[in-house]
Amino acid sequence: MLKLKISQALPNPLQITLECAAGQLHALVGPSGSGKTSTLRTIAGLSQAKIGKIECNGETWFEANELAGVIQNLSPAQRSCGFLFQQYALFPHLSALENVLIPLQNSAHKVAERKALAQDWLGRMGIAELAHRFPHQLSGGQQQRVALARALARQPKILLLDEPFSAVDAPTRQGLYKTLADLRKDLNIPIVLVTHDLREADLLADRITVIDNGISLQTAAPQVLFQRPRNSRVAELVGISNLFHGIFNAGNLTWDGCDKTFSVADKGKIPANAQVAWVIPQDGLSIHNAPTLTSTPAIAAEISVLGQIAVIQLQIQNSIHKIEWVASASEVKRLNMEVGSQMYIELNGNQIHIMPLRPINDPRRFVDGN
Amino acid sequence: MDTDAILLSLKLALWTLVLILPFGVWVAHSLLGLNRSKPWVEAALALPLVLPPTVLGYYLLVGLGGKTFLGIPLVFSFAGILIASLIVNLPFAIQPIQRAFEAINPEIIEAAQVSGLSNWQIFRLIELPLAWRGITSAAVLTFAHTLGEFGVILMVGGAIPGETKTVSIAIYDKVQSFDTSGAGALALLLLGISLIAIALSYGVFGKSVSQQRQRRG
């Protein structure tokens, strides 16, 4: 189990909390420069936070507070992290086998045993026959497998992966996804993955932490994150398309810039007349040809058909807002929908998720809408 | 041909190499860790490049002339010209090695750290092999430069045959005494040695690394 709680104001602001259990894959996502890689480097001991605590399997790797300063700070060599660098960082003067032998340098095994172990790791990565090649004689994907074998050869207590899939082509990436999935089952250690690709995080991770400007905004399972983002910035970062603003008062949400009010349930945490952000998942939308009592008129402004899937932009009438509706191509046909068609949208209030505009630690979290 | 001068020059160049290379590696590696003081240290180490040889020679003459740390004057002796040669060669030995260390991708060092290597192991197994071409260049430059050094050696050592009269000083002496054919032969020898040394560093050493890689691959 990896537990991390770090914070600092300078040189880069960092305020991250995360926990990752053995066998879990935890993804850190966020835009470039948000602090994902800094967090990973701090875990490995390659950078140091001002204050905080990093624990792995009950062992304190780093501890510092404002009063006492640094209490404990193990060196990267003492921490037992497998670290996969974005550009692999293979030792260019050593063969693949020699690269994997480096982490075994200080092991208790005899030289022949070490060689067998290193060769075994290359075998597990599917590149046993490339053992005597040098990094410059390997493709990007092969280099990455050597780097992964090197990261794991020491039997680390955690595995840290820094954007591992960004520099390889799509087919290689698919192969690496599978390798990672297999390893996860076998290794049973916490794995922390940094990525800017949400689809990848959704595909691979058990839990995702969204980081922005050095602050961890939300940690949740992928499904929860996409359906119930904690605030408007998280919704933006995870790419939720139907994100709007409004004013919430006593169970009623008034849509900004649109004469429309919905009855919405909340946990009573949001003060009266607060400016809020809100999202509605695709399940909460139903589209009709004819008006109903609670429907909102809209015009089909754009229809993009991608194979069996259609993405439709519906322009709400008398408003600046567009709602994105993803449907099957046959559904679009059934509704006789064409660009310019008059449609009627029903938004299910029970599915609307409202949230503050800013993170929980921001004093401007709720702004009075009046 | 002045065999004594040739042998003395070779002896001086070899001793300079043996003593300066480990020191150069140590200083070049230590410079990586310096921040604020780095420009000053680098400037001090590069001084022999820009100082006129007579100025450097004068200070060494004064410094090594009286009782030195060994208790005896060192001027006009082999030990004296060796010390002078070491000082004059500092920039030639340190700068190529320093550039080679600086050219190593920091992520490679970090990868070695997270692989559990100690600082000494990182130096021995990763940094030293990767800086090998810089060390070779430093060795060749130092060797060729020592063979050709004139001003400082003349100031500190005079021209004592078999003790301090190196090839370049012998060439000067021969020109002074109108022995142009003797001077020409020695000059040609120095030219040849320098050319071969630099060609070796550019060609053979450079190629041998890549060939070795190919062979092992």
Nearest CA in chain B to A97: B217
Q: What is the pLDDT of residue B208?
A: 46
Residues of B with CB below 8 A from A83's CB? 110-111, 114
Q: Say how many CA atoms lie within 13 Å of A192 toward its Cβ.
A: 32
Give φ, ψ of B75 to 5 degrees.
-70, 155
Cβ contact, residue pair B217, A137, below 8 Å: yes
Task: Give tens-digit pLDDT for A137-170.
Answer: 998 889 999 999 999 999 999 999 998 887 778 7
Query: What is the least distance, in Å, from the CA of B16 to any CA of chain A?
Result: 29
Query: Is A109 at the interface with chain B, CB within 8 A?
Result: no
* CA–CA distances in Å: residue A109 to residues A113, A119, A169, A182, B190: 6, 14, 37, 26, 53
Query: Is A91 at the interface with chain B, CB within 8 A?
Result: yes
**CATH classification number, A241-356, choose in 3.30.1490.20, 2.40.50.100, 2.40.30.30, 1.10.8.60:** 2.40.50.100
Q: What is the pLDDT of residue B103?
A: 93
pTM as predicted: 0.79
DSSP, res A137: G
CA separation for the pair A300, A292 (Å, rounded): 17
Task: Give tens-digit pLDDT for B183-217.
Answer: 999 999 989 988 888 887 777 555 544 444 544 43
Of B107, B118, B130, the CB nearest to A89: B107
Segment B51-77 mean pLDDT: 80
Task: Give tens-digit pLDDT for A198-237.
Answer: 888 888 899 999 998 888 888 999 888 888 888 888 888 8
Which CATH fold topology does A2-227 show? Rossmann fold (3.40.50)
Residues of B with CB below 8 A from A155's CB? none
Of A76, A82, A105, the CB nearest to B113: A76
Mutation test of the interface with chain A: which of B107, B114, B127, choosing the one with the most A Cβ atoms within 10 A? B114
Share the mean pLDDT of chain A: 87
Of B108, B114, B118, the CB nearest to A91: B108
Q: What is the pLDDT of residue A33?
A: 84
Query: What is the least distance, in Å, from the CA of A341 to any CA of chain B?
Result: 57
Nearest CA in chain B to A153: B115
Of A182-186, A363-367, B60-64, the poorest mean pLDDT is in A363-367
Of A79, A85, A134, the CB nearest to B217: A134
Burial level of B101, CB count in 10 A (0-12/13-18/19+)? buried
Of B105, B125, B216, the CB nearest to A102: B125
Query: Is A83 at the interface with chain B, CB within 8 A?
Result: yes
Residue-range domain boundaries for chain A: 2-227, 241-356
Cβ contact, residue pair B114, A77, below 8 Å: yes
Segment B147-151 mean pLDDT: 88
Residue A368 has pLDDT above 70, yes or no: no
Residue B168 has pLDDT above 80, yes or no: yes
Query: What is the least distance, in Å, from the CA of A74 to any CA of chain B?
Result: 11
Q: Shortest CA distance to A164 belongs to which of A128, A205, A124?
A: A205
Segment A171-197 mean pLDDT: 86
Q: At CB < 8 Å, which residues of chain B contact A?
A: 105, 107-108, 110-118, 121, 125-126, 129-130, 213, 216-217
Segment A19-30 mean pLDDT: 91
Of B107, B115, B217, the CB nearest to A102: B115
Q: What percent of chain B has pLDDT over 70?
A: 90
Cβ contact, residue pair B110, A90, below 8 Å: no
Cβ contact, residue pair B112, A75, below 8 Å: no
State which of B1-10, B22-31, B186-195 shows the largest mean pLDDT: B22-31
ipTM: 0.80
Q: DSSP string covering A145-177, please?
A: HHHHHHHHHT--SEEEEESTTTTS-HHHHHHHH
Of A47-51, A104-108, B68-72, the poorest mean pLDDT is in B68-72
Nearest CA in chain B to A43: B114
Q: What is the pLDDT of residue B212?
A: 47
The encoded tokens of residue A220 equal 């949740």
Task: Give tens-digit pLDDT for A86-126.
Answer: 889 999 999 999 999 999 988 888 889 999 999 999 999 88
Q: What is the pLDDT of residue B217?
A: 38
Cβ contact, residue pair A132, B216, below 8 Å: yes
Give φ, ψ of B17 to 5 degrees.
-60, -50
CB-defined contacts A:B, below 8 A: 74
Query: What is the least distance, in Å, from the CA of A93 to any CA of chain B?
Result: 7
Segment A262-277 mean pLDDT: 81
CB A350 within 8 A of CB A333: no
Query: What is the least distance, in Å, from the CA of A72 to any CA of chain B?
Result: 18
Nearest CA in chain A to B121: A105
Q: Read off the pLDDT band of A251 (50, 70, 90).
A: confident
CA separation for the pair A266, A89 (Å, rounded): 49
Of A71-85, A329-343, B55-69, the poorest mean pLDDT is in B55-69
CA separation for the pair A61, A51 (Å, rounded): 13
Query: What is the least distance, in Å, from the CA of B116 to any CA of chain A?
Result: 4
Of A85, A95, A154, the CB nearest to B107: A85
Nearest CA in chain A to B117: A77
Beta bridge mates, A303: A312
Cβ contact, residue pair B125, A92, below 8 Å: no
